[in-house]
Each structure stands twice: as C-alpha cells, then as structure tokens.
Amino acid sequence: RGMPFEAYAHNASTSTKIAFALAFYIALSLFFSSGQSSAGAGIMTSSTEPAFTLLVTMRFKSEKYVQQFLSDVEPVCNYVKSKEPTTLAYEVLKSDKDPLMLTFMERYADKDEAYLKIHKSGKPFLEFRPKLKAMQDDGNVEITGESYTDTMVGFGDRVV
C-alpha cells in the first residue's frame, strides 16, 4: 500500500504487482545512476570531455559554387557516416531564406580524440579541405564559424 504503481494495478495479481514494482524501481535506479539528467543530450561516450560541435556558415558567390561544394563534400559525409562512429552528426543545411547560404553542423563525441585526432586525419577530409580552401581563396565562398561544447541541456536528434 502507498506504492506509486498501485493506482494502476489494483486488479492485478500480487506477482504482477511485484514484477511491475521491481521494473519501476530498476528503471529509476538506472536513470539516476547514469550521471545524466533527463534534459541532457543522452549521448554516453567513454570520453570525459563534453561533446564538441562546429557550426560553419558558408555564403557562396553563385549556385554553381553551392553545387560544387555539395559534390565535393558528399564523399566526406559518406565516409564519416560509415567510418567515424565518434562523429555524432555531420550535416549540410541549406538556408530557407538564402539559396546561396549553407551551414555545416558537425558534432563529435569530444574535441581531442573524435574531432582533432580521428576526423581531421581522415583521407576524404584531407582531400576535400584544399578544394574548399581554393574556393575560399578565389572569393567564391565566405566562411564563418563557431565551436561549442555540450552543456547537457536539451537533446539532439529524435527519431520520429
């Protein structure tokens, strides 16, 4: 009597009530022992560093250069998805207000290992980077960006 599940299980057998109570308390203990709040991103990695995110905004001179960038970066995206499990998100977003503006969202399990050591040494990234640099040097794209560390407030992608 007085247990939180009893209002829902008043017609259940004693063994069903016990099984439900046990499952309820196990779930609570796992939640509170995980070290993360329900508001956190829910990404558990072996790193003690917070997740690391880059948001890079690019404004291209013309649609021709947007298409060239997308063509050049697609193999990198495919490689990252299949070969870099500590890259949590790697996505090119197109502005709904300016067709010449893209934002690249990159999210890594941590900065030192996942981003600096693994991602930045990947062969497709190393092949892509000079192409973007040349486009930038020729004045065909302006690039700005910021880096962020996870606060564990909010959440990432949700599967619907």
pLDDT tens across 37-79, in order? 333 344 445 557 889 999 999 999 999 999 999 999 999 999 9
In this predicted structure, what is the pLDDT of residue 13? Answer: 54
Instruction: Evaluate if residue 23 carries a pLDDT over 50.
Output: no
Angle 34-40-43 (CA atoms, 0-180°, nearest 5)? 65
pLDDT in tens, 87-99: 999 999 999 999 9
Taking residues 96-103, what's their average pLDDT? Answer: 98
Instruction: Evaluate if residue 117 carries a pLDDT over 80.
Output: yes
* pTM for this prediction: 0.69
Computed over every residue of the chain, the mean pLDDT equals: 80
Contact (Cβ atoms closer than 8 angstroms) between residue 90 and residue 83:
no
Percent of the chain with pLDDT over 90: 62
Distances (CA, A) of 107 to 17, 20, 92, 100, 124: 43, 38, 12, 23, 17
